[in-house]
Structure 1
Amino acid sequence: MFTELLFCKSKVFVHCSSKADDNIAGFLLITRDAQQTALEATVTWIPEKELEKSQINELMKADLQRASGSSKSRVKKDIVSQALYVAWAFSIKVSTIYSIQFRPPSPSGWWFGSVAIYSRNPQEQNSIPILFFHDNICPSTQEKQKQLSKSFDPFSGSDIYWGANDFRDALLDIADLKQTFVDPTMWLINATLDDLRNFSASDLKEKTQNVTGNKSSFQGSSLWSKIDEAKWNVLSKFADLTTKSTNRMATVFSQHPFVKFVDKHNNNPYVKQILTNPKVQEIQDDFDSAKIYLAKWALGVKEQAEKYQTTNGLDETYRRLLFNELGNDGEDVQLTDEELNVAMQRSHPLSRAKWDSFFDAEGRLSITVHEVKDYIFHGGVKDNDLRREIWLYLLEVFPWDSSIKERRVLEETMRDSYRINYKCRWEYRAPHSDEEEEAYWHDQVLRVEKDVKRNDRDIPLYKYNTENGKAVVEPEESPSRELQDHETWTVKNPHLQKLRSILLSYNVYNNDLGYVQGMCDLLSPIYYILEDEELSFWAFVSFMNRMERNFLRDQSGIRDQMLTLTDLCQLMLPKMSDHLAKCDSSNLFFCFRMLIVWFKREFEFDDVCSIWEVFLTDFYSSQFQLFFMLAILQKNSVPVMQNLDQFDQVLKFFNELKGSMDWSDLMIRSELLYVKFKKIMDVLERSTELNEYTLLSTEGNVINEAPASDTEGTSNNRTSLATDNLKQLLSKKIVVKREPARKKNSVK
């Protein structure tokens, strides 16, 4: 019997003693049976002396083939099985390896490079010797070094090649390897998020600060930290200067005679009549524009400062900024260091190797759904190829507990159902006997086509209206002309055609709702990721299960969210809430567009995909989009409160945030706001229970009560703000609200 040979390296030694004569040469192999998953692959080391000459020749040939770039080969299974019965030999599953330490060789040749494998099983660990790579006598390593020397770049800064690099690269193909900050020679295999957090840079910084021995080795990094701190201090001073400047400029504007007159008599009917004069409006518009500019200027300085911190690795400075803005409630709720660490550590996106490691041989999830969602929520998905698979789970097309076989059957069923039950019903429909119903259908088709034609035309997938979806020379096919005259051209782009088909099929599926502007905005990223008409339809059906309430004809669903957001702002950002009330913006109308299509038009397309997959996890709440919106309000609260005081100014300011926001920073703030919100709600719940107990005790003539603490008094002041809408934010259950049955003439 044969097994697949994924890696082979000759002249890998075990040093049994300090004497060179005792060294044992052997082969380091990675093998996997055809039916096994990547994590069930086996790492084996076996001595040369235990192998037959034909077996040695076979492995040497495989080693050299890999050095020349040849594909995977096969090897007899009995070679691997021999390692179970030979002294010093070992065989270990990749899934049971916790970490591997790669110690490079001495550049001067004083010592060989070595690899130490650490097992998750303490008993197994004792049987795994340290492996030394004798590159000077390994044919494949020497061949690879010759190849690399021809293209050697002395200024590339890359590490010197040695034999274990090939071993590491082979493992990277089948497992998720992460280099630790604590020790760059240490690599974790399929590490959990807790492992990655424990080996984070912040831990390294803490460790270096605690070192009492040889401090000189850290003087260089300390010096650069101080330089970075100095740079940040300069930037902070600049921010202070701009704040003072905006205040000075605002004072100058406020001294304008017309402005003083309006501020003093703005409720006078005569003044209101004067304000309708075009010349007067022009002055007022200039004044409002100046104030909006000042607000955006102040925000821009803050954005640049935060971007400088993250780019230059000033995590501690950014951490202090977050704590100052969000962490200290000043009353009864504070964020902990651990909560800040978890929210900030978003640098471990889910990779293909890590995703594959979550499943067993039958394709069933071997860890909890919550653990998977933790990876997605805190790190996102590495690329669109992997998103294509993961989104089918997030959008509930595939059940999380399904096997490969079950998913194949389900996929085939869904494809047939889409074509037969929905697409065919509008493709081959006969005219309706009722003229008004027929007119309604044609109106729905026109609405769909109108939105499809202008959908995300800056994205390459949708950009060109040609039969193959690619650019052509003819100027009449340019997207700009199509957008200007979208009523007169026919959709040719195959991807736009599929968007049209999916939306019309959904109209058949959910005829009560019909098509509403904005639904194409929701479908576009789904199809962009999946590029599959049938699966995109069912993913869209699931997505609309939660998003339908945004498109109800009576707007009750989006109104409920706006009311909840208002309550949330009053609870979490009371100063901002009060200021918006003074600006006649307490209804947060400017948030409407952002919420209805989940910020689709405020961020770059790829960023929208990253934001949505976080929302779709329902990791903390099924309505986490409200906390993201709250983060936007919090981030912009200072410039708004310092510079804006009119409804139109606030509306214009937030509408012009499009394309200027850092979604990653906002997601960190969203998580911290939720954590803080949860703590406040817990305090309020305890306070309510305490009040109820006090009331019952009073009715029962119990008078020996302990006096309420200051914290309890503060909580009592907030109790009235803990509305039912806010309590619902603590739930992960999706909020579903359906359009009532469509009646004749209900949609015009």
Structure 2
Amino acid sequence: MSTELLFCKSKVYVHCSKKAEDNIAGFLLITRDAQQPSLEATLSWIPERELSKLQLNELNRADGATAKSAKIKKELILQAQYAAWAFCIKLSSIYSIQFRAPSPSGWWYGSIAINSKNSHDQGSIPILFFHDKECASTLAKQKALNKSFDPFSGTDIYWGASDFRDAITQLVDVKQTLVDPTIWLVNASLDDLRNFSPQDKKVEAEASAKASTSPKFWDMLDQARWNVMSKFADFTSKSTNKVVNIWSQHPLIQFVDKHNNNPYVKKIMTNPKVQEIQDDFDSAKIYLAKWALGVKEQAEKYQTANGLDDTYRRLLFNELGSDGEDIKLTDEELNVAMQRSHPLTRQKWDSFFDSEGRLLMTVQEVKDYIFHGGVADMELRKDVWLFLLEVFPWDSSLEERQELAQTLRESYRANYKSKWEYRQPHPDEDEESYWHDQVLRVEKDVKRNDRDLSLYKHNTETGEAPASPQQDLDQGADQTDSDVWTVRNPHLQSLRSILLSYNIYNNDLGYVQGMCDLLSPIYYILQDEELSFWAFVNFMRRMERNFLRDQSGIRDQMMALTDLCQLMLPKMSAHLAKCDSSNLFFCFRMLIVWFKREFEFEDVCSIWEVFLTDFYSSQFQIFFMLAVLQKNSTPVMNNLDQFDQVLKFFNELKGTMDWSDLMIRSELLFVKFKKIMDTLERRAELAEYTLLTSDGNVVNESSAVCDQNALATQTSLVTENLKQLLSKKIVIKREPARNKHSIR
């Protein structure tokens, strides 16, 4: 019986004593049986002296082999269980591996130390030393690398264990720890990753600064820019007139004024970016608010990029951390929210499932990874989103999912798509007219859908760029505002088919503008019409309330946001009331399509998958909206005082916001909200209790009245809308049965 050889490295030694003659040479192998998941692959070390001449030749030929390059007899691996110093361990049983690089001067060999999750394995796994000057595959690779050596590449030194690390990284999730860069965790839990993350990044920041090779000129320029920006940030807290005066007195502005007839200065002033700033300055208050926010955004990005987590942490705590003596965020809560640097990778995802494809951990643990790290790439999202959108049950096996997928494909084609593809005219003229109106609405939105994305950009039969610009024009690619051209792009056709099929599935709701915005990311990720349909159906279960004819669903969310803003951001809420903006109308568009038009497409996917986990709440989008309000509260309160100013300011946030920062704030706002709700509930219970004696009689009438008034004040803040925000259960609200008098 044979097994698959995934990795082989020769001349890997065990040093039994300080004497060189006692060293034992061997082979380090990774093998896997057919149909076995990567996590169940076996790591083995076999001494050369235990091998026959035929086996020795076979492994020497496989030296350096990776990625399914050979087959070997399984008996060879079984020998490792009985030979002295030899060992076998499943990759799933490894907790960590320490990689100790060799001395550049040759004083010591490079080595690895394997740490098992099982305590009884610890004594049986020796430290392995890589004798690179004896290993044929290592010598060959070093020779090849020397020919293309780049002294400025900054890459780590190559040695024998580099190949081993590359091989194991392709099979399981391996993460380098920040506390000790020589230690790599294998399939680490989120708690492990958090525990191995340093609480104080000063050392890391200093190391990063030493590694910097930026020219002095740019350092000086950057420093000057930050000095200017910091001054203007301080100025924005002053009155508008004073800021304008200071702005006009700045040497750079005076230079432009003094030389405004200079051809070179004139050329600068024609720059679109300069003109854009000038146009903004015409609305001085809005400009100043945007400037203050921009400085703040740039400062936070600079801190994050340079590892200045302490500064960012203090900023978050100052803005969100405390509310009197009772409500405070702990260091642990700040750490968990801020540590979003461990995205879910393919290797980590595969490690969640056993050999039958069943989940090995709880659903909440999986969602923790997604909520706090997101999904690493679009390819992995094809698998993850089918679970998040409930196309596949979390407790299903791989075989069950394959069978379910086939059933869903057949159901889509037979029960929905065929009904409009082969549709006969309806005898009722009103119904026939309604259907044609629905088709026109769908096609109009499909033609305008995300045309900046390569998948949807070109209106050709292949969806790819045509041979010539004229052909592109002939195919209608540049006629996005026209109702004349025919959809030819196969991906746009799939969007059209899904939306028309959904119209059959949910005929009461019909098509409403914005639904194509919700479908587009799902199809872009899955690129599978049938499964995208069912993913969209499940997504619309929670999103249908945003599109009801009476707008009751979105109104409920707006009311919940208003109550939440009054509770969590009372100063901002009061200021918006003075600006006639207490209804938060400017938040409507953001909530209705989950910020689809405010962020870049890739960021939208990252935001949505966090929302879809329902990790804290099924309405976490409201806390994300609250984070937008909180982040912008200072510039708004300092500079804006009219409804149209507030509306314009928030409408122009598109493309300017940092979604990751907002998600951290969203989590902290929720944690703080939960604490406030718990505190208010305890106070209400305590107030009720103190009103009564042990036999149910009131103790003191005057004090009882005071307590009742205090209780009424507290409980008035806790509305039903706010209580519902604590629930993870999806809020479902359906459109009533449609009739010919229904108005869209």
Structure 1 residue aligned with 2:260: none
Question: Does structure 1 retain, via aligned residues, the 8 Å contact 2:109–2:131?
Answer: yes
The 1:19–1:712 alpha-carbon spacing in structure 2 relative to 1, beyond 3 Å, is: farther
Structure 2 residue aligned with 1:438: 432
CA distance in 2, matches of 1:720, 1:292: 35
Residue from 619, 622, 630 that aligns with 1:626: 622
Deviations 1:294-322 (A, max 9, x none): 11111111111111111111111001000
Structure 1 residue aligned with 2:335: 341
Structure 1 residue aligned with 2:685: 689
The 1:240–1:713 alpha-carbon spacing in structure 2 relative to 1, beyond 3 Å, is: farther
1:129 lines up with 2:111 in the alignment: no
Question: Does structure 1 retain, via aligned residues, the 8 Å contact 2:374–2:609?
Answer: yes
Deviations 1:236-277 (A, max 9, x none): 8843543425634346889xxxxxxxxxxxxxxxxxxxxxxx
Structure 2 residue aligned with 1:196: 193
Structure 2 stretches lacking a partner, 5+ long? 246-278
1:492 lines up with 2:483 in the alignment: no
1:607-646 pair list within 5 angstroms:
607-646=603-642
Deviations 1:168-199 (A, max 9, x none): 11100100000011111110000000100011
- Structure 1 moving runs of 4+ over 6 Å: 218-225, 231-234, 285-288, 711-716
Deviations 1:79-116 (A, max 9, x none): 10011111111000100000000101111111111110
Structure 2 residue aligned with 1:242: 233
CA distance in 2, matches of 1:624, 1:715: 28
1:369 lines up with 2:363 in the alignment: yes
Question: Does structure 2 retain, via aligned residues, the 8 Å contact 1:12–1:132?
Answer: yes
Question: Does structure 2 retain, via aligned residues, the 8 Å contact 1:239–1:302?
Answer: no
1:603 lines up with 2:599 in the alignment: yes
Question: What secondary structure does 1:30 align onto?
Answer: strand
CA distance in 1, matches of 2:408, 2:244: 64
1:359-508 pair list within 5 angstroms:
359-472=353-466, 473-475=468-470, 477-478=472-473, 482-483=478-479, 485-508=481-504
Deviations 1:361-400 (A, max 9, x none): 0000000000000000000000000001100000000000
Structure 1 residue aligned with 2:40: 40
The 1:40–1:233 alpha-carbon spacing in structure 2 relative to 1, beyond 3 Å, is: farther
Structure 2 residue aligned with 1:93: 90
The 1:502–1:573 alpha-carbon spacing in structure 2 relative to 1, beyond 3 Å, is: same
Question: Does structure 2 retain, via aligned residues, the 8 Å contact 1:288–1:649?
Answer: no
Please report the TM-score for the alignment, with normalisation by the length of structure 2: 0.90
Question: What secondary structure does 1:178 align onto?
Answer: strand
The 1:232–1:334 alpha-carbon spacing in structure 2 relative to 1, beyond 3 Å, is: farther
Question: What secondary structure does 1:442 align onto?
Answer: helix
1:219-368 pair list within 5 angstroms:
235=226, 238-239=229-230, 241-245=232-236, 247-250=238-241, 289-368=283-362
1:26-175 pair list within 5 angstroms:
26-63=26-63, 66=65, 72-175=69-172
CA distance in 1, matches of 2:299, 2:709: 38
Q: Which amino acid aligns with 1:391?
A: W
1:648 lines up with 2:639 in the alignment: no
Structure 2 residue aligned with 1:259: none
Structure 1 residue aligned with 2:263: none
CA distance in 2, matches of 1:746, 1:80: 72
Question: How many residues of Structure 1 are paired with residues of Structure 2 in the alignment?
Answer: 700
1:179 lines up with 2:179 in the alignment: no
The 1:299–1:582 alpha-carbon spacing in structure 2 relative to 1, beyond 3 Å, is: same
Compute the displacement of 1:332 (Å). 2.0
Q: Which amino acid aligns with 2:18?
A: S
Question: Does structure 2 retain, via aligned residues, the 8 Å contact 1:566–1:588?
Answer: yes
The 1:299–1:718 alpha-carbon spacing in structure 2 relative to 1, beyond 3 Å, is: farther
Compute the displacement of 1:476 (Å). 5.9
The 1:71–1:43 alpha-carbon spacing in structure 2 relative to 1, beyond 3 Å, is: closer
**What is the aligned-residue RMSD (CA, Å)?**
2.8
Question: What secondary structure does 1:636 align onto?
Answer: helix
Deviations 1:634-677 (A, max 9, x none): 00000000111111111110000000000000000000000000
Compute the displacement of 1:701 (Å). 3.7
Question: Does structure 1 retain, via aligned residues, the 8 Å contact 2:240–2:639?
Answer: no
Question: What secondary structure does 1:576 align onto?
Answer: helix
CA distance in 1, matches of 2:209, 2:286: 41
The 1:237–1:672 alpha-carbon spacing in structure 2 relative to 1, beyond 3 Å, is: farther
CA distance in 1, matches of 2:741, 2:282: 44
Compute the displacement of 1:35 (Å). 2.6
Q: Which amino acid aligns with 1:528?
A: Y
My pick for the range that moved more, 610-619 or 158-167, is: 158-167
1:550 lines up with 2:543 in the alignment: no
CA distance in 2, matches of 1:14, 1:442: 77
Question: Does structure 1 retain, via aligned residues, the 8 Å contact 2:617–2:728?
Answer: yes
CA distance in 1, matches of 2:480, 2:463: 19
The 1:223–1:23 alpha-carbon spacing in structure 2 relative to 1, beyond 3 Å, is: closer
Deviations 1:149-171 (A, max 9, x none): 11111221222211111111110
Structure 2 residue aligned with 1:581: 577
Compute the displacement of 1:470 (Å). 1.2
Compute the displacement of 1:203 (Å). 5.6
My pick for the range that moved more, 237-246 or 323-332, is: 237-246
Question: Does structure 2 retain, via aligned residues, the 8 Å contact 1:628–1:670?
Answer: yes
Question: Does structure 2 retain, via aligned residues, the 8 Å contact 1:11–1:134?
Answer: yes
CA distance in 1, matches of 2:92, 2:421: 51
